[in-house]
Amino acid sequence: MALEVLLVEDSRTQAAQIKETLESVGLKVRVAYDGPEGLRDALENPPALVVLDVKLPSMDGFQVCRRLKRNPATQDIPVIMLTEKASAKATMSGLHAGADDYIPKDIFASEHLINTLHELGVLE
In this structure, is residue 51 part of a structural domain? Answer: yes
Structural domain count, the chain: 1
**CATH number reported for the structural domain that contains residue 46 in this entry:** 3.40.50.2300
- What was the pLDDT predicted at 96? 94
Q: What is the pTM of this model?
A: 0.94
- What was the pLDDT predicted at 85? 82
- What was the pLDDT predicted at 2? 74
pLDDT tens track for 7-55: 999 999 999 999 999 999 999 999 999 999 999 999 999 999 999 999 9
Alpha-helical runs (H) found in the chain? 12-24, 35-44, 61-70, 88-96, 109-119
pLDDT tens track for 49-105: 999 999 999 899 999 999 999 999 999 999 999 988 888 999 999 999 999 999 999
pLDDT category, 124, cuts 50, 70, 90? confident
Distance, in Å, from the CA atom of 21 to the CA atom of 46, rounded to the nearest integer, reads: 21
Q: Which domain holds residue 102?
A: 4-119
In this structure, is residue 124 part of a structural domain? Answer: no
C-alpha dihedral sign at 72, 78, 83, 87: positive
